[in-house]
Amino acid sequence: MIFFRPAWSDPLHSKEFPVLERAQTVRLMIFDVDGVMTDGSLYYTDAGEELKAFNSLDGHGLKMLQNSGVQLAIITGRTSRLVEHRARNLGINRLVQGAHDKLASFETLLAETGFTPAECGYMGDDVIDLPVMRRVGFAVAVPDSPDIVRQNAHYVTGARGGNGAVREACDLIMQAQGTLDAQLAVYLR
């Protein structure tokens, strides 16, 4: 297992870091929201409405990953209509909000989809994500995660949450599965 991604190493091609082999097996990729799909900031209006900023590059990466054949899901501890809208916009049908026990939510997803933990990936940023990260075949963290989270990840993105980290993970999975070129070919005509 990778405990962190040292800046001096090449984690994609090192025998100590079997990242591509792990990413190659992903059939269902699950994402946390706050700190992963967003930068983790929570904004509230005077009326108490919650606001979040999502990265459009991340969104397109999610669509390409889904088009490549990988199924997507979101498990988040918070509940927000914004996340429901974002998931619908991206075509993500599996959305679990208010998941204070993310492992139980993950087990439910496994039962619904028939996937094994080894066929799943999970991207998180905080200790609430650890139970799922420790079960899946491919665990991804963002660089501003606490040390314990990065230590339990197979891959730590170079980009921060909400700033291209999701896109980086999506591109890595497609690269590992040999589908990235086909997804990009549409734009290289």
DSSP H helices, the chain, are: 19-24, 56-67, 81-90, 102-113, 130-133, 147-151, 165-177, 180-185
Question: Hey, what long-range contacts does 175-184 have (CB within 8 A, 24 or more apart)?
Answer: 175/20, 175/23, 176/19, 176/20, 176/21, 176/22, 176/23, 176/24, 176/26, 177/23, 177/24, 177/26, 177/68, 177/69, 177/70, 179/68, 179/69, 180/68, 182/68, 183/64, 183/67, 183/68
First to last CA, the chain: 39
Which residues are part of a known binding site for Mg(2+)? 32, 125
**Which parts are annotated binding residues for substrate?**
34
Going by the annotation, the residues of the binding site are 32, 34, 125
